[in-house]
Structure 1
Amino acid sequence: MALIHKKDNNVLLAAGDQLISYDLESQADELLRLPEPNLPEKLTKSQLDVLKKEVRKISSIDSHSEKGYTVVATENKQVVVYDKQFQVLKNFIVNRAAGKVCFTPSSDILVADRTGDVYLYKLNEIEAPQLLLGHLSVILDMTLSECGKYIITFSFCLGHSEFVTSIKLVKNILVSASGDGTVRFWNYLKGEQLDIIYTNKYIMDNSLLEVFTRDMDKEKVDVTALPVTDMQVYYDAKKLYVAVSVHNYNALQIHTTDLLSCDLYILSDKFSVFKLIDEEFIETNVPCLEKLYDKYKHILKLNESSAITVLYKRKFDNVQEYLVRKRQRLETK
């Protein structure tokens, strides 16, 4: 699956271990391949096997607006920091695979790993990272408040009945999307839910949920809604606009709430740009982005992925398994 990330006038696309940088003003593009990891000494064979994988998929991207830095993390424990000209500033290995990376206001790096821990890495120092917090389950995403005082992570809680797929922070409002098919609004300082959107209510084709339910029944998972797979938000000082994509649903939902010029970039089987005009997102023709997609579509080709299904809670019949083993022991006596 390809990733898309936009900061100011720069659009970043990632697929596998390749990163495409595109400047919207100059219309210049650059294809980058991640450097080889700097391997520390005294690694076990299993650690070396992971770090030397031929396929190093980029799992997370973030940018620092003020300094123009970009940080990327891969599924095989590598983190690379680039400067504004995409020269490597730092190339290091983390102890566990990073699920999410982001910059602090002071340009240090927060790394959330797959075991639920968040570490702080100093950009200009070699010292060991500082452990900031931890979960008992995988951290699926992470964001930082504008003041830099609050680190917000999400996993399988936050009032949802299923895993949380995305969170966005707008002023003092936290917006979360989930595998339960809802988008919820929170006052995160008080821990209060302010509002909720049931996205499946706006999907008229009931067969989509029926097909998904049958597929998940094979995995012994009960589902009642199509999960929200991604969410983006825009705020224009008057209204909050929430765009969500829903699993297997071939359309984009745009919701507004009463809480600038905004562009919404979508990467699927083409590169689409939607502009906010009179409170509506209108798809616009951007020839330079169409050319960019045609140039790199062999890299950005999206494959169907069922990765989201592994996040659902499974039911395990441990008692039945125990009884089978007990019967086998009795039969051998």
Structure 2
Amino acid sequence: MNIKELNSRLVLTSGDTIVALDTTSGTTQTVTIPAPNLPPNLTKGQLEVLNKQDRTISSLATSQTGQYIVVSTENKQIVLFDNNLNLIRNFIVNRAASKVLFTNQDDILVADRTGDVFLYKFNDEKTEPTLLLGHLSMILDMKLSECGKYIVTCDRDEKIRVSHFPNTYNIVSFCLGHEEFVTRIDFVKHVLVSASGDGTLRVWDYLKGEQLSVINTNNHVDDANLLKDLSLEMDKEKVDVSALPIIDMQTFCSDGVFIAVSLLNYKSIQLYKLSLDNHVCTYVKSIQCDETPLKFHLSTNLFIFDNSKLTIYDYCSDSSRTEPKPALKIADCHNFITVLYKRKYDNVQEYLERKKLRLESNK
């Protein structure tokens, strides 16, 4: 499930469906992802992938102008709509996308799961996409600076790369310090904020690649069994887990900079406030939920979706109300997050066993 705000509506994805929700009236508008337009000369294998019925939306972006919506799907589609959910373009890419994003000119950036980022020109369907940059592992998030001069990408290998845009071969810096995959990044005025599977929020001077501050969100988790259970689960796969991973992070500037964070399996949304004077991130409160929140959106209010309802929380007045949740098919993010951890393989023992058998056979 993905959530963006567009022209006073929340745009959500639910499986292969886009839902535009008016939170004031509760009315919704929905559209289902159409079948892909297939180019000629595809192999049988390519046809099987592209024609499969699983058109689950993997990423959602809205344009800064408020005019367009773009999504990527599991079967390699990129689908562009206007803000009334009328179809504009529907094309396929070579590899499944992990993230889509609009430029300031409403062109489309597509990061695929092998770590490459391509630029697709909005007004020219015939032009081949331009390869901008590449990571050695899957890109989990990417953002453009407000001025449009810089693009920041983060990946499964704990790296945050800052590049000039569109001349991305000019690398500005690397922001290094996270100890697990970097799930979210966001520009806040003149700094960059990042969230990671290591449970930390970090604030960066992204032009210098310098860390300005760090806060461990796990210090404000009141249930030690959550980490214990996750550690036991991942230990079976030979993965050492030392913190509950951050699965989502969003920022909002209004009378200060607020940062909302959700952690894996934790029944709360944590709220922090960032000072732009000393770049210190301060814990404000945890918003308790009846169920594990599946997705949230931070703006003037905090919109929290769980399996049964939508909670609209006013974090300034500490008040909330609940609304019926639209009929949404929301995927559990647990499996996606846990596969991001790096597995450790012991090849030495297997080698010794083979060597022993070889020596015995030569006797």
**Is the TM-score greater than 0.5?**
yes
Query: Does 1:307 find its partner at 2:307?
Result: no
Cα deviation, residue 4, structure 1: 2.0
Could you say which residue in structure 2 is the equivalent of 1:285?
321
Name which of structure 1's ranges 100-109 and 300-309 shifts more when overlaid on structure 2.
300-309
* 1:31 to 1:43, Cα distance in 2 relative to 1, 3 A: same
Q: Which amino acid aligns with 1:191?
A: G
Q: Helix, strand or coil: the match of 1:140?
A: strand
Q: Helix, strand or coil: the match of 1:49?
A: helix
Correspondence for 2:190 among 154, 172, 194:
172
Given that 1:108 and 1:123 are in contact with CA atoms closer than 8 Å, whether structure 2 keeps it comes out as: yes
Superposed CA RMSD in Å reads 1.8
Q: Map 1:109-188 onto structure 2 (within 5 A).
A: 109-125=108-124, 126-155=126-155, 156-157=158-159, 158-188=176-206
Cα deviation, residue 189, structure 1: 0.9
Given that 1:275 and 1:284 are in contact with CA atoms closer than 8 Å, whether structure 2 keeps it comes out as: yes
Q: Map 1:254-265 onto structure 2 (within 5 A).
A: 254-259=271-276, 262-265=300-303
Cα deviation, residue 115, structure 1: 0.3
Correspondence for 2:313 among 266, 271, 274:
274
Q: Helix, strand or coil: the match of 1:14?
A: strand
Q: Helix, strand or coil: the match of 1:85?
A: coil
Question: Residue deviations 1:60-93, cap 9 Å, x none?
Answer: 1011142510000011110000012211111111
Could you say which residue in structure 2 is the equivalent of 1:251?
268
Q: Helix, strand or coil: the match of 2:139?
A: coil
Could you say which residue in structure 2 is the equivalent of 1:81?
80
- Distance across 1 between alignment mates of 2:357 and 2:37: 51
Could you say which residue in structure 2 is the equivalent of 1:225?
243
Cα deviation, residue 147, structure 1: 1.2
Given that 1:4 and 1:267 are in contact with CA atoms closer than 8 Å, whether structure 2 keeps it comes out as: no
Q: Which amino acid aligns with 1:285?
A: R
Correspondence for 1:214 among 232, 235, 260:
232
Could you say which residue in structure 1 is the equivalent of 2:256?
239
- Distance across 1 between alignment mates of 2:235 and 2:186: 31
* 1:214 to 1:239, Cα distance in 2 relative to 1, 3 A: same
* 1:304 to 1:198, Cα distance in 2 relative to 1, 3 A: closer
Unmatched runs of 5 consecutive residues or more in structure 1: none
Given that 1:272 and 1:283 are in contact with CA atoms closer than 8 Å, whether structure 2 keeps it comes out as: no
Q: Which amino acid aligns with 2:35?
A: E
Could you say which residue in structure 1 is the equivalent of 2:90?
91
Q: Helix, strand or coil: the match of 2:350?
A: helix
Unmatched runs of 5 consecutive residues or more in structure 2: 160-175, 277-298
Q: Helix, strand or coil: the match of 1:146?
A: coil
Give the number of aligned pairs. Answer: 320
Could you say which residue in structure 2 is the equivalent of 1:316?
345
- Distance across 1 between alignment mates of 2:17 and 2:33: 6
Name which of structure 1's ranges 250-259 and 216-225 shifts more when overlaid on structure 2.
250-259
| Structure-2-length-normalised TM-score | 0.83
Given that 1:8 and 1:65 are in contact with CA atoms closer than 8 Å, whether structure 2 keeps it comes out as: no
- Distance across 1 between alignment mates of 2:42 and 2:256: 52
* 1:77 to 1:332, Cα distance in 2 relative to 1, 3 A: farther
- Distance across 2 between alignment mates of 1:173 and 1:245: 21
